[in-house]
Every structure is written in C-alpha cells, then in structure tokens.
Amino acid sequence: MNVVKHTKYIWELEDFISEGEIEYLLGMFNFYNPTIVESFRNKDRKNDTYIITDYPDLDAMAWKWVNAANEYYVKENQFIFYNWEKEGLFAPSDSNTTMWRDTWRGKNIIRMYNESDSYEWHGDQAPTNHAEFSYIIYLNDDFDGGATLFMNDKLTITPKKGTVLCFPVDHYHIHKGVKVSGGHKKILWNCVYRHEIEMIAKQPYLTAINVPRSSKRCIW
C-alpha cells in the first residue's frame, strides 16, 4: 500500500484493496443484481445508485474494506485528534464491534457512472445524522474523465482501482465527480458516524467539547 497525503485530511490509500477482491465483489454485485434507487438521479446527481445493505454477503465485504480504511485513517492521521486513546475506539481484530457500527454507520452504496454521468458539487452531510468521515473506494479505472475534485483545496484526484479516498465530512470538503467522458466508472461509497452517546459517556463534558466537529458539543 502507498499512502498519498494530499492535505492534512485528504488521503489516498493506494492499492488498499486487491484486484481479486474487487472482482469478487463486482461478481457478487452482478449475481444479486440490486435494485437501482431511481429517486437518487437528478440534474445534479447523475449516476446509478444501489444500496447493498439487503445483500449480507455483499454488504459484509464492503464493510470489511470500509472498517479497515477507517481504522487506518483515524489511527495514522495525527491531525485527527481525540482526547481519548485512539486504540480505544476500535475493538480487537477478532471482534465486529467498533465505535462506528450498526445504526451509527452509513450505508454501503455502489454508484455506477455511465458515459456523460457526473455528480455536481456537494458535501456528504445529512440533515439529521452526524457523519464523521467519508470513504470512496474506486472499483475500476478503465474509463475517461470521472476525477474527484475538491473545491476549497483546488485538488483533483484521478481514480485508481483499489484506492480508498479518505476525507472528513464537513462544510470545507465540498467535492464533485467530474463527467465521465468514456467508459463506465464504478465506486463503493460510505460514511461512518460517531456513536455520540457512547462517545460522550466515556469522556467528561469539558474535554468532549474539544473533539473535532461532530455535534453541538464539539467544535472543529
């Protein structure tokens, strides 16, 4: 694996996922043939969106990748600071329990971009949930166009198969998916959410307010 740190917070984990694993996931996707979310596509969100939570084998493999990327990104990035031990946020490798889990995790979503598809400027915030980090996993790179752009850092990320793009969910990291000019772009996307009740219970209020952007109790 090669880690490219474009900024303090925008990281690429290159070759994080093997080609064999990706092909296996795409094979399962084709086998299950999930239903497209027709309501997602509009003038700004031009892509085919599939939520894979109803397919346990597919969803479990996606979570394996997302959890691994999340743990690496949180532990290794010195600018993601917490007033408690980072190790305490993650369970042992033989456990499926982490601070980011169950209803506090986002949904694994596969997005397919056809030729001329794109995703205009947006943030990954939700109106009622407190998303922490966003992860884009590039499932292929045999297409033209389709780069990921970050508005404020004026940064262009060229998709590479097996790479995980990691960044915080906040108002600064507004981004877009450039129009695909040839071929078909495939990504897996998810956000992770902090378990706020458990988090606050583990820390006194006065230290919890110093935690990076997550809720009314925290500041960025």
Domains in the chain, CATH or no CATH each: 2-208 (2.60.120.620)
- The confidence band for 214, taking pLDDT boundaries of 50, 70 and 90, is very low
pLDDT at residue 200 greater than cutoff 80: no
Percentages helix, strand, coil for the chain (3-state, rounded to 5) are 25, 30, 45
What pLDDT score was predicted for residue 207? Answer: 45
| C-beta atoms surrounding 88 within 10 Å | 10
**pLDDT value for 189:** 97
Task: Please report where in the chains the tokens 């369970």 appear, as a residue.
Answer: 91
Neighbouring CB atoms inside 10 A of 147's CB total 15
C-beta separation of 186 from 157 below 8 A: no
Percentage of the chain surpassing pLDDT 70? 76
pLDDT in tens, 121-155: 999 887 666 788 999 999 999 999 999 999 999 99
Report the phi/psi class of residue 145: left, alpha or beta, with left for phi > 0 and alpha for psi in -120 to 50: left
CB 184 within 8 A of CB 129: no
Q: What is the pLDDT of residue 193?
A: 81
Residue 205: its pLDDT value, please? Answer: 44
Q: Would you state the pLDDT for residue 169?
A: 93
Beta-carbon contacts of residue 128 (< 8 Å; ≥ 6 apart): none
Least confident of 74-83, 111-120, 177-186: 74-83
Number of other CB atoms surrounding residue 47 within 10 Å:
19
